[in-house]
Amino acid sequence: MSLDMNALPGAERGETSVRDGQLAPVTCAACGCRLEASGTADDAPWFHFGRLGGRDARGDRPACIDAPHDRSGRGILAA
């Protein structure tokens, strides 16, 4: 737990990345939606936050909603 008043939610769980020298939530490179890790491993895939019924947390329907992403926010291509 952080006592910093400006701490980002999820920072303790490693759900942040470094962007322009600042800690920031991991976001999708294609649509900008926030992503959440599906596990605790460093190589665990990331998925859109709050996805339900083909929609993201904002109610949008991005094409990449059900695709796994890497930690940098890029979609992982199936082999």
The set of residues, in sequence order, having a beta carbon less than 8 Å from that of 9 and lying 6+ positions away, is none
39-53: pLDDT as tens digits = 877 778 999 888 888
User: What does the mean pLDDT of the chain come to?
Assistant: 77
Give me the pLDDT at residue 8, please: 47
Specify whether the CB–CB gap between 23 and 11 falls below 8 A: yes
> pTM to 2 decimals?
0.66
Cα distance between residue 9 and residue 71, in whole Å = 17
Q: Where are the beta strands (DSSP E) in the chain?
A: 16-19, 22-25, 35-37, 46-48
Is pLDDT at 65 greater than 70 in this prediction? Answer: yes
Is pLDDT at 2 greater than 60 in this prediction? Answer: no
**Dihedral pair phi/psi, residue 16, rounded to 5°:** -125, 160
Cα distance between residue 29 and residue 3, in whole Å = 31
Give me the pLDDT at residue 68, please: 92
Top-confidence residue, 42 or 27:
27
